[in-house]
């Protein structure tokens, strides 16, 4: 028999709708019941693609005996962390504080007022590796709730004190931004860098797209080779590893080892949006770098081509498998199919021989398909054999091998598509859609892909139509058949603004800039904190134990760091101090943390680089469909230039963008105005003159 979760729209909550647990969604009904019956709340937070969430559900939440204990002693609440990042942030903070670590599933025990008094993550169904069973935890805490109220109250008081401490800013907002902070951040990243495999840290190893973006931006300003080498090695090793889907494109969530071989097979929209942009930017950078660098060694697949291919394959994967017919992007793809993690993605030699015939020998040598396998008797595809060496060993030209491999990947991809696919979380989240919108918009611009531009435009139209209410406020989540729900969070505003500004610079349709600016004004009005940062929830959001405010970047940029990023860009377009001053104040005050913990402040460092780089404001007056304007735009968008914003108006057009005010064509030709810190150089008509102005300071 179904429980209350059957009425929800979240795929994660619906996965538990048939549990014998008397689940509630988070809300007044559950909280009132807990208070009326003086029962503690068991809060379980996870997400649809979470493997260990599925394991705990199968072991405990589907077990009638365990469910009976839960129903007898607790009010049980399920939360989708992707829908409710506010609750996830609050209770993850408590979990890490109590246990020293966090993760999902998150299992938190609360008083009826919502204050945590015990927390953990996955609990097994039987005692294992020093961990108590989930039933033991349930019984022990139920007994403590009844007989040890003093101890419980001491825990909750200390946690409330912790929550209510005003975090404030880490330093003084009056100091100047110091470029040495970026230098120190690069040194810190260099110290922790894995020089053999790329990336940072040991197993499990996560992609760090914000750190890579910072390094690319830093290199573009300083030409520091250490920064470039870290970015290049990380991107190259990941692209050749099992963490990357070598057939279908897209990155899995993380690698369970330090060599990028065995992934946790779920795919997240937010990872792939950020990584698509990182590979696009690296492709631009290496293309520009190689123009005057004859020392770059030839390779079987030069990184220039590799990075472009990976970026395109990521976006094609999203276009094919993660896009709703109306234009929204889905959230996640599961790790499991047919109840087995990774089954959809792995291969055996018999399977490749059946599909490829004799060419399987070459494919298996390159992609490490062996009898013993590298994952539970099967093989995760990764580039283990250097194609040049494989071609030499088989006495065939490298070009012939590359053609065979490309055809083999297509054949295996088509065969794989007939397997049982992993589950897909089809809710559409505003923040994550903003990030992917930016990736498609930038790819359309640099790759000259009209189809990518169409996808980005349809996505922007969808989000603004379905997830923005008439009052100009955003909603968090949308699902077909149910519409939009939940108040938008800070990251929904900031990440969507980022996407809209990227789309504006691809289409030069003023409506996208106008929408971005309107959302920024809502953000300033409803999310601002007294010290110049922003809360994660609006001033009219549901009252919780505390009003969350996350200043550190995680798997996605923090709302605060992306706010600094987009406010600096809006300040460049408008010259308005309310945007610029807010961003600069937080950057000045927090900058000391950036160099100490660069991996936790990656997007902040990107914003810092934008500020240090004295970004250019470029205004074009001309028709982008005409050759003279197109020639100027080709110069502006040639290579990787992260420290600029570009605006364009057609001749005779009135634009709502202040940067374009009082700008006219000279001599009846498309004209460019290049400014820095709101101080402009002489307007120019010729691409060569424009290139010269842009090279100043590069």
- pLDDT tens-place string over residues 216-251: 999 999 999 999 999 999 999 999 999 999 999 999
Residue pointed to by tokens 């106008």: 514
Summarised one tens digit per residue, pLDDT across range 364-421 is: 999 999 999 999 999 999 999 888 999 999 999 999 999 999 999 999 999 999 999 9
Q: Following CA atoms 116, 599, 188, 438 in sequence, which dihedral angle do they give, to the nearest 10 degrees?
A: -160
Nearest to 80 by CA among 476, 524, 368, 443: 476
- pLDDT at position 180 is 93
| Residue 561's pLDDT band (cuts 50, 70, 90) | very high
Q: What percent of the chain has pLDDT over 70?
A: 96
Residue 62 pLDDT > 90, yes or no? yes
| Residue 296's pLDDT band (cuts 50, 70, 90) | very low
Across the chain, what does the average pLDDT equal? 93
Nearest to 282 by CA among 310, 259, 301, 249: 310
Q: Give the DSSP H or E segment for 477.
A: strand 475-479
For the chain, how many helices (H) and strands (E)?
Answer: 25, 19
Nearest to 476 by CA among 131, 79, 171: 79
Alpha-carbon distance of 184 to 309, in angstroms, equals 33
Q: What's the whole-number mean pLDDT along residues 672-690?
A: 90
Summarised one tens digit per residue, pLDDT across range 297-343 is: 344 578 889 999 999 999 999 999 999 999 999 999 999 999 899 99
Nearest to 80 by CA among 141, 13, 29: 13
Alpha-carbon distance of 537 to 526, in angstroms, equals 8
DSSP assignment of 507-566 equals H--HHHHHHHHHHHHHHHHHSB-TTS-B-SS-TTSPP-SS-----S--SS--HHHHHHHH
45 strand-pairing partners:
79, 106
Residue 542 pLDDT > 70, yes or no? yes
The answer to pTM > 0.85 is yes
Residue 33 pLDDT > 80, yes or no? yes
- pLDDT at position 350 is 97
| Residue 99's pLDDT band (cuts 50, 70, 90) | confident
| Residue 174's pLDDT band (cuts 50, 70, 90) | low
Task: Work out whether strand 41-46 and strand 106-110 pair parallel, antiparallel, or are unpaired.
Answer: antiparallel
> In what side-by-side order are the strands of the sheet with 424-425?
267-268, 332-333, 424-425
- pLDDT at position 4 is 94
Q: What percent of the chain has pLDDT over 90?
A: 83
| Residue 169's pLDDT band (cuts 50, 70, 90) | low
Q: What's the whole-number mean pLDDT along residues 448-467?
A: 98
- Take residue 278 and report the two structure tokens written for it: 């990182």
Residue 45 DSSP SS3: strand
């Amino acid at each position: 028999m179904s429980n209350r979760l059957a009425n929800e729209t979240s795929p994660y909550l619906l996965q538990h709708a048939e549990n014998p647990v008397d689940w509630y969604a988070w809300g007044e009904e559950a909280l009132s019941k807990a208070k009326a019956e003086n029962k503690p709340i068991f809060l379980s937070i996870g997400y649809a693609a979470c493997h260990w969430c599925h394991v705990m559900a199968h072991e405990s939440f589907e077990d009638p005996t365990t469910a009976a204990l839960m129903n007898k002693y607790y009010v049980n609440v399920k939360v989708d962390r992707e829908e409710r990042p506010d609750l996830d942030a609050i209770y993850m903070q408590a979990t890490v504080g109590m246990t020293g670590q966090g993760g999902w599933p998150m299992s938190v025990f609360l008083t009826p007022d919502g204050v945590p008094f015990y927390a953990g993550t996955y609990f097994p169904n039987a005692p294992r590796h020093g961990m108590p069973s989930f039933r033991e935890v349930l019984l022990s805490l139920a007994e403590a709730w009844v007989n040890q109220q003093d101890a419980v109250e001491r825990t909750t008081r200390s946690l409330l004190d912790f929550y209510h401490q005003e975090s404030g800013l880490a330093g003084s907002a009056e100091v100047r931004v110091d470029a040495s902070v970026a230098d120190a951040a690069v040194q810190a990243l260099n110290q922790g860098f894995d020089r053999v495999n790329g990336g940072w840290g040991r197993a499990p190893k996560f992609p760090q797209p914000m750190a890579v973006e910072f390094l690319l931006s830093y290199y573009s300003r300083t030409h520091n080779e250490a920064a470039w080498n870290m970015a290049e090695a990380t991107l190259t090793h990941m692209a050749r590893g099992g963490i990357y889907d070598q057939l279908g494109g897209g990155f899995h969530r993380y690698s369970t080892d330090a060599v990028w071989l065995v992934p946790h097979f779920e795919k997240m929209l937010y990872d792939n949006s950020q990584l698509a942009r990182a590979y696009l930017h690296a492709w631009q950078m290496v293309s520009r770098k190689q123009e005057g660098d004859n020392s770059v060694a030839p390779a079987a697949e030069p990184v220039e081509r590799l990075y472009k291919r990976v970026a395109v394959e990521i976006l094609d994967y999203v276009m094919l498998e993660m896009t709703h017919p109306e234009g929204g992007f889905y959230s996640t793809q599961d790790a499991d199919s047919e109840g087995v993690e990774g089954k959809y993605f792995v291969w055996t030699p018999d399977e490749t021989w059946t599909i490829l015939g004799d060419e399987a020998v070459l494919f298996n040598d390159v992609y490490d398909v062996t009898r013993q396998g590298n994952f539970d008797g099967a093989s995760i595809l990764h580039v283990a054999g250097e194609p040049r060496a494989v071609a030499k060993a088989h006495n065939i030209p490298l070009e012939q091998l590359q053609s065979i491999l490309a055809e083999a990947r297509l054949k295996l991809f088509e065969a794989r598509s007939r397997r049982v696919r992993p589950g897909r979380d089809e809710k559409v989240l505003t923040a994550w859609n903003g990030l992917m919108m930016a990736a498609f918009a930038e790819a359309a611009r640099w790759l000259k892909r009209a189809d990518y531009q169409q996808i980005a435009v349809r996505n922007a139209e969808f989000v603004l139509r379905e997830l923005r209410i008439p009052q100009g406020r955003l909603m968090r989540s949308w699902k077909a058949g149910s519409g939009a729900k939940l108040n938008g969070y800070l990251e929904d505003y900031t990440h969507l603004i980022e996407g809209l500004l990227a789309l504006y610079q691809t289409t030069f349709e003023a409506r996208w800039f106008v929408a971005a600016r309107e959302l920024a004004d809502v953000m300033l009005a409803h999310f601002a904190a007294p010290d110049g940062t922003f809360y994660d929830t609006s001033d009219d959001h549901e009252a919780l134990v505390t009003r969350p405010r996350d200043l550190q970047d995680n798997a996605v940029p923090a709302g605060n760091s992306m706010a600094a990023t987009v406010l600096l860009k809006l300040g460049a377009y408008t010259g308005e101090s309310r945007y610029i001053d807010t961003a600069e104040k937080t950057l000045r005050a927090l900058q000391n943390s950036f160099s100490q913990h660069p991996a936790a402040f990656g997007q902040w460092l990107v914003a810092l680089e934008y500020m240090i780089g004295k970004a250019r404001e470029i205004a074009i007056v001309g028709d982008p469909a005409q050759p003279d304007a197109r020639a100027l735009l080709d110069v502006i968008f040639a290579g990787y230039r992260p420290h600029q914003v570009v605006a364009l108006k057609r001749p005779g057009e009135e634009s709502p963008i202040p940067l374009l005010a009082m700008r006219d064509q000279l001599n009846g030709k498309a004209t460019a105005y290049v400014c820095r810190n709101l101080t402009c150089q002489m307007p120019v008509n010729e691409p060569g003159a424009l290139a010269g102005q842009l090279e100043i300071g590069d």
